[in-house]
Copies of this chain bind each other. A is one copy, B any other.
Amino acid sequence: MTATMSKERSADTSAVLDVQAVMRRLGERAKAAAEALATAPSESKNAALRGAAAAIRADRAAILAANAKDVAAAEANGTKGAFLDRLTLDEGRVEAMEAGLEAIAELADPVGDVIAEWERPNGLKIARVRVPLGVIGIIYESRPNVTADAGGLCLKSGNAAILRGGSESFHSSTAIAAALAKGLAQAGLPEGCIQLVPTTDRAAVGEMLTMTDTIDVIVPRGGLGLIKRVAAESRIPVLKHLDGNCHVYLHQAADPDIARAVALNSKMRRTGICGAAETLLVDRAVAATLLPPVLDALAEAGCELRGDEATRALDPRVLPATEADWDTEYLDAILAVKQVDGLDAAIEHINRHGSHHTESIVTEDAGASERFFARVDSAILLQNASTQYADGGEFGMGAEIGISTGKLHARGPVGTEQLTSYKYVVRGHGQVRP
C-alpha cells in the first residue's frame, strides 16, 4: 500500500513538473513571438490570417473528424443540450471560422495608430501610440471555434496568444491550431504567435495563472465557475468576461409593439449567448395592458415563464419565481418576470441582481431612458432595442473575443483595439525640465 502510494505520488510529481515545464516553454516562446509581432508589418499578419483560413478550408475533413471524436466522447459521458451544441462543428461552423479569419484580415491594424498627439508650449511633441499588450492567455470552454477567433484577433492586434481550450474540445482545437500554425509559417511569423496548451491536465490552468513573467493578460471565456476560479487564482491581470444576467425593462411609456418585439428577440433569438435576456421587468402601473401580449409571444415561442405573484395573477401559465430566479443566468428558454414600481425600482433591481453586462429599456420617454443610462451600472445600455445586439460585430467593431463586464481597461465588446495598450512618444530638441 505504502509502496503504491509512493509510486503514485512520484508519478504525480513528475506529471506536475512536466506540466510546469511545458507551460514555461510555451510562455517563453510566446514572449519571444510577441516581441517579433509587436513590429511585424500588417501584411505579414494579414497573410498569416488568410493562410490560416485557407489551411482550415483544406483541413476541413480532418477538423470535422477530430470534432466527431470529441462529440462522441462527450456523448458517451452523457453530455447533451446546449453544451453539446456548443461543442459540435459542422461544415457551416467551420466555414464561419474561415470567414471570421478573413474578416479579421480585412480589419484595420490597430498597432501604431496615433491615438492622440499634441505639442506643449516648450516645443515637446507628444504622441500616444497604440501598441500590443504582449502575451494574452485565453482560457475557454467547449466552443472549438474560439481557437480560431481568439487566435486570429490576438494576432491582428500584435499579441501572442496562449490558448487553453476545454478538455472536451481538445481534438477539435488541436486540429484547428495546426491549421493556424500553417498560416503563421507561410507568412514567416514565429509559431509561438498562437499556441494551444498541448495537455488537458487542469494543472496547466493553475500554472498559466502564475506566469507573470511571460503572460500580460488573462482572458477567461466561459461560465461563472471558470471565471471565479480565474479571478481567485490569477496573479496576472484578468479581463473579465461574465455571461450576462441581462434585463429588459418595459417602462410605463413603452410602445406595446416594440415591447413585444424587443422582449421576444432579447430572450429567444438565441438563448445561449451572453447577451440573451434573463429577466423581464415591467412597470406595475401598465402591466395589466402591456404584459399579456408579450407573455403570449414568449409562450408561443416555447419560453418557460417564471414570475412574481402579480404576474402570475395576470397569466396562469407563469410558474412561481423564487428569489434565486432574479440572480440566475438561464442561458435557456426560461425567463423571469417581475413587476416593479417605476423606473428607479427597475434601476435598483438591475444594479443589485444584474451582472453589469447589457440591459434594455423600452420607452418612448427620453427622460426615462436618460436616467436609466446614467444610473444603471452596466457595460451596454439600450433603448428600444434587443439585448442581443451586445456583440462586437453588431457594434461595427469587427470580431470580438467577448464582452468585458469589468470596468478596467476594456468594457463591453473586446475587439482588436481593446486588445492593445499604448505608449507615449515624445520628440524634443534638447529640452530639459526647469
Contact = CB atoms under 8 A, between A and B. Distances in A.
A133 B385 contact: no
Contacts of A202: none
Contacts of A93: none
A368 to B, nearest CB: 13
A431 B217 contact: no
Q: How large is the interface on A (under 10, 10 to 19, 20 to 34, 35 or more residues)?
A: 35 or more
A309 interface: no
A294 to B, nearest CB: 13
Nearest to A369: B427
Contact of A428 (B120, B239, B382, B431): B382
A375 interface: yes
A394 B124 CA distance: 10
A403 B367 CA distance: 40
A362 to B, nearest CB: 9
A408 B159 CA distance: 13
A292 to B, nearest CB: 19
Contacts of A265: 432-433
A421 interface: yes
Q: Which 8 A-B pairs give the minimum distances between C-beta atoms?
A: A385-B428, A265-B432, A407-B421, A258-B430, A409-B409, A382-B426, A388-B433, A385-B431
Given A255-B430, A411-B424, 17 more contacts: A129-B373, A131-B407, A133-B407, A134-B407, A239-B408, A261-B430, A262-B430, A269-B432, A373-B425, A380-B424, A380-B426, A384-B427, A385-B428, A389-B431, A395-B424, A409-B409, A412-B422
